[in-house]
A and B are shown apart, each in its own frame.
Chain A
Amino acid sequence: MQKLPLNLVVPFILFATSSRLVFAVTLSTGIDEVANLPYWEIKGDGMTLRLVQRLPDQSRGFAMARGFTPEQAEVFAQSCAFQTVFKNISNLTTPGTLNYNLRDWIIYYQDKKRGMKTREDWEKTWPPGQVKPAAQLALNWGLYPTVQSYKPGDYNWGLSTFNLKPGAMFDLRVVWHQYDKQHEFVIHDVQCAPDIHPDPDDIN
């Protein structure tokens, strides 16, 4: 096998590690250290996105505490919510604004394509007057922004909802824009949290 000349190899490696070439989008999964629930995280050039399962009971509790009726809280609890964190981690020396629109993201579930349930969709579920104003405000601001623009260092936390049954497994096509270029990545086998009602005897 022919040896590559070192005077070519060294500059190439340095270039690759200091440029965008090294940033293929990567996926990692595991257990979120804070929530103690499964997460799916993608990391690309200047961005990270983490989806952390959220138990229906957590969503139920959030909604009840904000003033939703038990029936309304149940609808929200069954909507397959994920704690979502999207960050712009671009280098400050080459700043890049990052944009996304949740309406561009596609859910693949049982051979069908569908969109996410956004803030605007929830407003259709509960138009003003059908829920307490404080509850409406909390839901609106608790949900992940439908459209957002992040400069370096910016990020949001929020709930994204997929309107699938607890335990459902799906693929998600994530789309974002950076450096005037569209990026996308499909996360396979994302799973909604199951609706667990622990038996009191199971709790130590």
Chain B
Amino acid sequence: MRVLIKIIMLVSLNLASLSAVADQQTLPSIQEPFPAPGFTLQGEDGKTYRLSDYRGQVVILNFWATWCPPCRYEMPSMERVWQDTKDKGIVILAVDVGEDADTVFEFTGDYPVTFPLLMDLDGAVISRYEVVGMPTTYIISPDGMVTHRAVGSREWDSPVLLDQLKAMRTPKYK
């Protein structure tokens, strides 16, 4: 009987560890990092944003749309990262694809985020990145290389992801 109980306990532990896999937060690296294609886009706030202005910082470049459920799902955790790191070498540029300022502004009523929301009205920018589904988020290193890609939403302020992002910063911000 004791042996049977041991077997059941060990099997349960094994299965529990397997099911936990689904909840792990990952930030997969890109096998061959490439220079981030530059762009200049208008923000929903009326400002102009140039990717090159953020050289020297880690850029979280997120492609999204208001009608995309997982895009909306990850917005609050991105906002928490923004609040924690905006002056510490990590910035977020969230590029809405195909929607106008009114639509994006309306979205911020339900999701009050304060990081830059850029508008890729004609999809020209997303077409220069290898995106096939939204949301897709690229991590751009301080020297302007695209080094990581996350397909699907993430809990961006989870310790495992945040530590990974902070480790990429230049010594100036550490």
Contacts and interface: CB of A to CB of B under 8 A. Distances in A.
Contacts of A30: none
Interface residues of A, number: 37
Interface in B25-69: 25-28, 65, 67-69
15 contacts: A17-B15, A17-B18, A87-B152, A91-B18, A134-B99, A138-B65, A138-B99, A142-B67, A145-B133, A147-B132, A148-B132, A148-B133, A152-B26, A153-B24, A157-B70
A37 interface: no
A10 B3 contact: yes
B26 A137 contact: no
B6 to A, nearest CB: 8
A196 to B, nearest CB: 22
Given A6-B3, A92-B24, A158-B133, A141 B152 contact: no
Do most interface residues of chain B lie in helix, strand or loop, or is the interface mixed?
loop
A48 B22 CA distance: 10
B123 interface: yes
A162 interface: no
Contacts of A153: 24-28, 150, 152, 154
Contact of A62 (B67, B98, B134, B150): B67
Contacts of A144: 133
Nearest to A62: B67
Closest 10 CB pairs of A and B: A153-B26, A137-B98, A151-B28, A155-B152, A154-B151, A156-B133, A145-B132, A17-B14, A145-B133, A89-B22
Interface of B: 3, 6-7, 10-11, 14-15, 18, 21-22, 24-28, 65, 67-70, 97-100, 121-123, 132-134, 149-152, 154
Nearest to B126: A141
A176 B99 CA distance: 33
Interface of A: 6, 9-10, 13-14, 17-18, 48, 62, 65-66, 87, 89-92, 133-134, 137-138, 140-142, 144-148, 150-158
Contact of B98 (A48, A65, A141): A141
Contacts of B132: 145-148
Nearest to A151: B28
B130 to A, nearest CB: 10
Contacts of A140: 123
B151 A17 contact: no
A150 B151 contact: yes
A98 to B, nearest CB: 11
Given A138-B67, A142-B67, A154 B28 contact: yes
A14 B17 CA distance: 13
Contacts of B150: 153-154
Contacts of A158: 133
A41 B67 CA distance: 23
A168 to B, nearest CB: 26
Given A145-B133, A157-B68, A87 B11 contact: no
Nearest to B121: A134
Interface centre among A142, A144, A148 (most CB of B within 10 A): A142
Given A13-B7, A18-B14, A89-B22, A152 B133 contact: no
A68 to B, nearest CB: 13
Given A14-B10, A147-B132, A155-B70, 14 more contacts: A10-B3, A10-B6, A17-B15, A18-B18, A65-B67, A134-B100, A138-B65, A138-B67, A146-B132, A152-B21, A152-B24, A152-B28, A153-B24, A154-B151
Contacts of A90: 21
